[in-house]
Structure 1
Amino acid sequence: MSLPSSPAEKPGRILLAPGLEISRIVTGLWQVADMERGGTLIDPQHGAAAMAQYARAGFDTFDMADHYGSAEVITGRLLTSPDRPDARAFTKWCPPPGPMTAAVVREGVMRSIDRLQVPCIDLLQFHWWTFDDPRYIDAMVELAKLREEGLIAHLGLANFDTAHLRVLLSEGIPIVSNQVCMSLLDRRGTEAMASLCLDRGVRLLTYGVLGGGFLSEKWLGAAEPAEVNDWSKMKYRRFIDAVGGWAALQAVLQAAHGVGRKHSVSISNVATRWVLEQPAVAAVILGARLGEREHRADNLKLFDFALDHEDHAALNAAFANTRRLPGDCGDEYRRPPFLTASGDLSHHLESVAPLWPRHRVAGDANRWTIDSRSVWEPLAGYARAVRVGERIIVSGTTATHSSGQLIGQGDAAVQATYILDKIEASIKALGGRLQEVVRTRIYLTDAADWQSVSAVHGHYFGHIRPANTMLAVAALIGDGYRVEIEAEAITDSAL
């Protein structure tokens, strides 16, 4: 039922982390990059003045990234203006995969600090492109050190899936948030991700809540457009296709329209309110085109009503006519179908250098090996993986990081996640793909772990379905090791 209150004058607020109170509507600056893609940069003074209007109206929390055009520079102008309103600035660091040394991480953070002109970043969110490169753990360890140093107030993630958020939490990284896509069309974040976040005290910052603008009256009953030309709509057009196409979108719009009429609010209000009411969600991120148009008055209506049981039933009936988006949060950036503005990112991911170099075995032109630089490989005389012709065989693999530490102490599912990433890196280094795996074997020290480890195996191989054997063994070599996995692939890819 509607809340009996007068129209809100300020957006709602929430304590995201100790000392960090934010607006529940975060103003996103990703469209700065779209506005500047022709080559003309936004004047920082004009952009900062537009941001100041948001802040004075209570929309005082801003989200950006190191690659959102000049967004950090514009925000820096706001934060150093003589009459600056109180504001909170979140940014993201999105480095290319590579060594994450202390110097590399510090340089990335200091670049944002210099642009923002602040001594400490309110929330630094980390994005990593490919989890088969485990150096994201190194990056987060170094970011945690910079937090202790006072250069970062709080640490968050961007587009991490549930399994890899769990990996970082198992290593004691103090993560307060994960930024993920969520909307009436994309409900992945309400599932395993939400359960983990609620259990571990992590909050979700959600974007894409309006589906690039498609979740609005403008598209209700409208014909499907032949083409769209802004980045946001190009991206979410792919989401629409993935959930069932234009007819599925129209079913959702019709349901949201009915709910909106009941509460005298817009479809966009209903779509946003649905996300805000998800228990793990701290805030929604709504994009702004600085100096062009704003929707602050309409967004304030979000805090004048709430969705009741009847509203949720109507929306759930519409959801039943849609397909679930594949995978988990963030998978659209890492695996098919690539639901991004630019479409297929496989060329980008394939351009990433292999984690380990391959070596041809002397005297055998058909045999290649890789080593992961473990002290045990030369000592015991084995390779991390071997390719002979079209066969790639990966040795028994444990969750041992490059530093020698065990990842996922006491957590078999975390260890399995790390191991399968390591196996994928090994296969890729020898020219193969995870999709070409035909056999896996899993060794457990505790048979009670079979279900959690099987679920991880299913996440990686559910659409591949290799032959598999799972065994309970008395022990694995080394303290704390609960899982070991080996794999074999057959590839037609040339080296």
Structure 2
Amino acid sequence: MLTGLWQVADLEREGPLEVADAAAAMDACAEAGFTTFDMADHYGSAEEIAGVCAARRGGDVQLLTKWTPEPGPHTSATVREAVERSLERLRADAIDLLQFHAWRYADPSWLDCLFALQELKEEGLIRHLGLTNFDAVHLDMVLNTGIKAVSNQICCSLLDGRASGAMTEVCVRHGVQLLAYGTLAGGLLTEAWLGADDPGPEGLQTWSEMKYRRFVEAAGGWERLQPLLAAIRAVAEKHAVSMANVAARAVLDRPAVAGVIIGARLGRSEHIADNLRLASLRLDAEDREVLAVASGAMDPIPGDCGDEYRRPPYLTAAGDLSHHVGGFPSPYPVHHGPGSRTRAGSGTVWEEVAGFSRAVRTGDHIAVSGTTATHGDRLIGGADPAAQTHFVIDKIEGALEALGGKLEDVYRTRIFIPKLADWEPVARAHGQRFGAIRPANTLVQAGLIGSGYLVEIEAEARVGS
């Protein structure tokens, strides 16, 4: 069990915390055996507080932090600056686990950040590299590309089962571990809310409660939540533990889950005595069935892991991304001319050599050139045809966005593969991304120019179609 420090930012809405007092509250957690703390560069003064606590304890705590950069391009220098800033706050020579968040995949600058972070890991400034809020497709892409990520921190609870399918399969296949947050749904899966009336947005006090009430709404609403709470309570009474213990253990027992993150409001409520009971709690088959039936009666949270930060409905405290980012720059540079054309370039060497653009817009029509899994001088997706296909479609999406379109505007795709044996993983990846769009499509076997490329795709779109 990890102690989460997101609540530091929430507490500091009332004013700055006294760092020494908050560090003392962290120290009490560590004394009880909870020595692993999860935070981020934007959780208020959490990193500074953790640094004071770690200095007092002589390094017997594990400090996990995150880097959530502003959208857009970053250089090796700006990545280093971010890591060194966290190191200074943490008073550490190396970050135990640095977890990276990408705001959108259509902008390939997220890959530049990860490559730079891997270099800092090799240099020794980062002990382990992790991800946060990555979906299954892009976690798989990262790992197939050769980036040595060991974990993915995602929302996972009896209310949110998105991690149970493709995410777990990818983690098991690659040996990657999940760190689960939102396990108690901001406290909504505890005794305080069993039988309680819906507080409505105005009846909630913390960002965490505001955020996870949106999850409740997405899962069917407050009335639908109550049977789930009753099931958790029944299992808790059977074992003479709290509902929080049951909700956390149910997630901790899932395949690929290495740890659950339980939030603490430092100096106010760390729940140390209650959390200690989690170690001895064992759920049996009957318990798991009761909880599975109750969870299954709720509507699935839409999308894949992390989608709440990338597409509507935004299941955040504010219901949008206003607390997180100011806007999104164009994924690719845009050029005008000749004539009325507008062009987007992805910067590959072949665009300059062969004299073409990644995409060209004339009027409301956008044509996207044959696109491979190239980013700069790197091949993305390794030798996995599905991973390459997903990155190709990311590039196509980025080119469309740069010219004012979107993936949903695509009405025609053409796929070229050199190996006939790869047709099915490529087709299935295309289906994952275009299944709701259903463009006209042709897939043919053809020789591709360049080493390692397993797929090339071109697309046509009509903006607003």
* TM-score interval, smaller chain: over 0.9
Counterparts of 1:453 and 1:472 in 2: how far apart (Å)? Answer: 11
1:26-81 deviation line (CA, Å, top 9, x unaligned) = 0100000000123x211111111111000000011111100000001111111222
The answer on 1:66 being equivalent to 2:66 is no
Q: What percentage of residue pairs aligned between the two structures are identical?
A: 53
Counterparts of 1:453 and 1:347 in 2: how far apart (Å)? Answer: 37
The answer on 1:379 being equivalent to 2:353 is yes
The equivalent position to 2:132 in structure 1, one of 158, 173, 177, is 158
The answer on 1:87 being equivalent to 2:61 is yes
Counterparts of 1:492 and 1:130 in 2: how far apart (Å)? Answer: 21
The answer on 1:190 being equivalent to 2:164 is yes
SS of residue in 2 equivalent to 1:123 = strand
SS of residue in 2 equivalent to 1:439 = strand
Please state how far the C-alpha of 1:484 moved relative to its aligned partner: 1.0
Residue range with higher mean Cα deviation, 65-74 or 453-462? 453-462
Question: Using a 3 Å threshold, how does the CA distance of structure 1 residues 348 and 300 change in structure 2: closer, same or farther?
Answer: closer
Aligned counterpart, 1:36: 12
The answer on 1:336 being equivalent to 2:309 is no
Counterparts of 1:436 and 1:344 in 2: how far apart (Å)? Answer: 24
Counterparts of 1:387 and 1:348 in 2: how far apart (Å)? Answer: 31
The answer on 1:398 being equivalent to 2:372 is yes
Counterparts of 2:88 and 2:10 in 1: how far apart (Å)? Answer: 23
SS of residue in 2 equivalent to 1:234 = helix
Give the alignment of 1:33-432 within 5 angstroms: 33-38=9-14, 40-81=15-56, 84=58, 86-227=60-201, 228-345=204-321, 351-362=327-338, 364-365=339-340, 367-402=341-376, 404-432=377-405
Residue identity opposite 2:446 in structure 1: A
The answer as to whether partners of 2:146 and 2:382 remain within 8 angstroms in 1 is: no
Please state how far the C-alpha of 1:257 moved relative to its aligned partner: 1.4
| TM-score, normalising length: structure 2 | 0.95
Counterparts of 1:489 and 1:346 in 2: how far apart (Å)? Answer: 30
Counterparts of 2:123 and 2:447 in 1: how far apart (Å)? Answer: 41
Please state how far the C-alpha of 1:342 moved relative to its aligned partner: 1.5
How many pairs align? 463
Counterparts of 1:70 and 1:406 in 2: how far apart (Å)? Answer: 39
5+ residue gaps in structure 2?
none
Aligned counterpart, 2:461: 489
SS of residue in 2 equivalent to 1:37 = helix
Please state how far the C-alpha of 1:221 moved relative to its aligned partner: 1.5
Residue identity opposite 2:453 in structure 1: Y
The answer as to whether partners of 1:31 and 1:68 remain within 8 angstroms in 2 is: yes
SS of residue in 2 equivalent to 1:48 = helix
Counterparts of 1:236 and 1:310 in 2: how far apart (Å)? Answer: 27
The answer as to whether partners of 1:440 and 1:466 remain within 8 angstroms in 2 is: no
Please state how far the C-alpha of 1:208 moved relative to its aligned partner: 0.1
5+ residue gaps in structure 1?
1-24
The answer as to whether partners of 1:436 and 1:490 remain within 8 angstroms in 2 is: yes
SS of residue in 2 equivalent to 1:45 = helix
Question: Using a 3 Å threshold, how does the CA distance of structure 1 residues 135 and 85 change in structure 2: closer, same or farther?
Answer: closer
Please state how far the C-alpha of 1:160 moved relative to its aligned partner: 0.9
Question: Using a 3 Å threshold, how does the CA distance of structure 1 residues 148 and 359 change in structure 2: closer, same or farther?
Answer: closer
Question: Using a 3 Å threshold, how does the CA distance of structure 1 residues 432 and 361 change in structure 2: closer, same or farther?
Answer: same
The equivalent position to 1:443 in structure 2, one of 413, 416, 422, is 416
Please state how far the C-alpha of 1:100 moved relative to its aligned partner: 3.0
The equivalent position to 1:476 in structure 2, one of 440, 443, 448, is 448
1:321-362 deviation line (CA, Å, top 9, x unaligned) = 111111111111001211111213399779211122222213
Please state how far the C-alpha of 1:439 moved relative to its aligned partner: 2.1
Question: Using a 3 Å threshold, how does the CA distance of structure 1 residues 348 and 361 change in structure 2: closer, same or farther?
Answer: farther
SS of residue in 2 equivalent to 1:36 = helix
The answer as to whether partners of 1:55 and 1:85 remain within 8 angstroms in 2 is: no
Residue identity opposite 2:445 in structure 1: V
The answer as to whether partners of 2:21 and 2:267 remain within 8 angstroms in 1 is: yes
| TM-score, normalising length: structure 1 | 0.90
Question: Using a 3 Å threshold, how does the CA distance of structure 1 residues 455 and 345 change in structure 2: closer, same or farther?
Answer: farther
Structure 1 segments, 4+ long, off by >4 Å, are 346-350
Counterparts of 1:446 and 1:251 in 2: how far apart (Å)? Answer: 52
